[in-house]
Amino acid sequence: MNPSLEIALATLPHGAEFRFVSRLLSLQPGISAEGEYQPTAELDYFRGHFPGEPIVPGVLLVEAVAQLGGIAAQADPSISPLRNLRLAGIRNAKITGAARPGQTIRLEATVMGRMGGLILVGGSASMDGTLILRCEVSLSGQEGA
């Protein structure tokens, strides 16, 4: 992985247990990012979602898009990063498929707009070229040091 991509991925405030971007594939700072999430069978949430038929919860796919969108937005060199950036809203989410442990989920996120401490991101998740999620998320953070 490109060192600048590794640095951008390291900007996620989440601990390893709640990071849903395994690898950053490309980054256009302030504009868009592409990445992957590779859930392993050992993750705790698979024990209960669903026993014998584990799938990645759709809400975690939405969180993965939010995390990737946050990476893209926070990497904009012309705008100071927001403090305490958080997922603030979900719109137009449509889950059309499922991912299982061991599969590679392809993520895409595009910064659609910014206003002060708010960022609107559009994104998707796919498996082997098949769309499994499309959504818009709002991120909220605090401006200034």
pLDDT single digits (tens) 55-107:
999 999 999 999 999 999 999 999 999 999 999 999 999 999 999 999 999 99
Cα–Cα dist 95/38, whole Å: 18
Beta-sheet pairing, 130-142 with 118-127 = antiparallel
Where residue 85 sits, what CATH number does that domain have? 3.10.129.10
Whether 6 has a pLDDT exceeding 80, the answer reads no
Task: Tell me, yes or no, if the pTM score tops 0.85.
Answer: yes
Instruction: Supply the pLDDT for residue 8.
Output: 73
- Catalytic residues, by residue number, are 49
Q: What is the pLDDT of residues 28-37, one digit of tens each?
A: 999 999 999 9
- Count of domains observed in the chain: 1
Average pLDDT over the chain, rounded to whole? 93
Q: Which residue range forms the structural domain that includes residue 117?
A: 3-142
Q: What tokens does 34 get?
A: 């592409």
